[in-house]
Structure 1
Amino acid sequence: MQGRSPQLSMELNRLLLLTSFLLHVEEGHASPTRLVCDNRLIQKYIGEAKDMEKRAGQCQELRTLSCPMVLPVVGVNLQQWKSKSNETKRREILCDLVLLVRAAAGAQGQVTQECVARQLSQLYQHANSFLLLLQTFSWEAGPWEPGCSPHSTEQTHVTAIFLTYRQLVQGKLRFFFHDLAKDLCKQGQGGGRDPQCGAQ
């Protein structure tokens, strides 16, 4: 049998990325639509980001890194943010996540303390999962290429990686999912229940 068509290959690649994400997500039955439409899930990830930052800060003998890590500047100007298209927002967050994943991986190679290494490993997995997920959302044809140069800063403190990740999840990612929910959830939920109804 001849090779698959490029379009079919692209769809299969997206399916693999999505499956990968769902395997990493602790909520085994989570789906991209559920993640966007059920506000409790993003709140869960914000809580986990805060916990990782807190636990890393409690580790003994936190030393500065010998090689500085390049981290994205993830602050949000809400007025500017609202004026951007969903595709622009998605690409911006993808750029931030690429830098975060690289920084976490680079820092893991420099730390020897088990306490910090464990938190860095968890952050790497979470950031990489979001990276995979956002690659499945696209409003433009063709695969995403990480050819971007976001605002960045060099940091030698490990805690800066956790702070940046928490700010990204709490800020841009939460706002992005909120924006997507306006369209996605009306279509996907139809006459179904509102995910926030019945929340404890």
Structure 2
Amino acid sequence: MGNRRTYGPNREDPVKGYADTDMEFPRLLAFLLIVLEWTRPGLPSPLRPICDLRVLNHFIKEAQDAEAAMKSCRDGCSLSDSVTVPQTRVDFDVWEKKNALEQAQEVQSGLWLLQQALSLLRSSATNAALHSHIDNSIRNLLSLNAVLRSLNIQEYTPPASAAELEGTWTVSTAADLLQVYVNFLRGKVRLLLSDAQACHQDVS
């Protein structure tokens, strides 16, 4: 279980986030790189653009912005019910014993859980500024799923219920949810996308 944190009132307005064009740039960049490399002549398979982790780093930065907005949010920022989220702690001995498919499925199930949890937060919160950050976070999760498919990782089939998944826990506050979101991107998502096998590509 992660540490619970309670934040006191703040008289400043919530973080507003980036301009729309700035928020869309990394998603557009990832999409264009995927399309261009699929259509580029002379390459047997598409270049894997996420191996340049600047796109993921941008998503992490935006997740941290959402967490900062939550810290400064005073009203209309609560989670209406507890949600199931992925464990973010990485046991490297256990992780390295898993094959590529098992690692990918663990990350994909975590992304799915976070998308469900953030969607619930979106429906329960009423703060407009926080809505903007949540919408952006959900779009980023969808972009990450598209990137995983571009790496020839098979599409994930969600379970009928989150209770069927292992390696999960429950949080009851929006602050804890957004902290899990940041840590999951910085941990297991980065590990998967930095893997030498996933990123290997001969571009000579």
Looking at structure 1, the residues matched to 199 and 120 of structure 2 have their Cα atoms a distance apart, in angstroms, of 38
Q: CA deviation at 1:89?
A: 0.7
Structure 1 residue ranges, 4+ long, deviating more than 4 angstroms after superposition: none
Residues 1:116 and 2:130 aligned together: yes
**Pairing of 1:74-153 with structure 2 (within 5 A):** 74-138=88-152, 144-147=156-159, 149-153=165-169
Looking at structure 2, the residues matched to 44 and 66 of structure 1 have their Cα atoms a distance apart, in angstroms, of 29
The sequence identity of aligned pairs, in percent, is 18
| TM-score of the two chains, using structure 1 as the length reference | 0.70
Q: CA deviation at 1:104?
A: 0.7
Considering Cα pairs closer than 8 Å and 6+ residues apart, tell me whether 1 or 2 has the greater RCO.
Answer: 1
Letter in 2 for 1:156: S
**Which residue does 1:53 correspond to in 2?**
67
Letter in 2 for 1:177: L
Looking at structure 2, the residues matched to 34 and 161 of structure 1 have their Cα atoms a distance apart, in angstroms, of 28
Q: CA deviation at 1:64?
A: 3.6
Contact 1:72–1:100 (Cα < 8 Å) also in 2: yes
Contact 2:77–2:126 (Cα < 8 Å) also in 1: no
Query: 1:186–1:109: structure 2 CA closer, same or farther, 3 Å change rule?
Result: closer
Contact 1:135–1:144 (Cα < 8 Å) also in 2: no
Looking at structure 2, the residues matched to 69 and 118 of structure 1 have their Cα atoms a distance apart, in angstroms, of 20
Query: 1:144–1:85: structure 2 CA closer, same or farther, 3 Å change rule?
Result: same
Contact 1:33–1:188 (Cα < 8 Å) also in 2: no
Query: 1:122–1:30: structure 2 CA closer, same or farther, 3 Å change rule?
Result: same
Contact 1:95–1:150 (Cα < 8 Å) also in 2: no
Query: 1:158–1:34: structure 2 CA closer, same or farther, 3 Å change rule?
Result: same
Q: Structure 1: state its 5+ residue gaps.
A: 1-21, 191-200
The alignment covers a number of residue pairs equal to: 164
Contact 2:66–2:178 (Cα < 8 Å) also in 1: yes
Q: Structure 2: state its 5+ residue gaps.
A: 1-23, 35-46
Query: 1:34–1:170: structure 2 CA closer, same or farther, 3 Å change rule?
Result: same
Residues 1:167 and 2:183 aligned together: yes
Looking at structure 2, the residues matched to 102 and 119 of structure 1 have their Cα atoms a distance apart, in angstroms, of 15
Looking at structure 1, the residues matched to 201 and 150 of structure 2 have their Cα atoms a distance apart, in angstroms, of 18
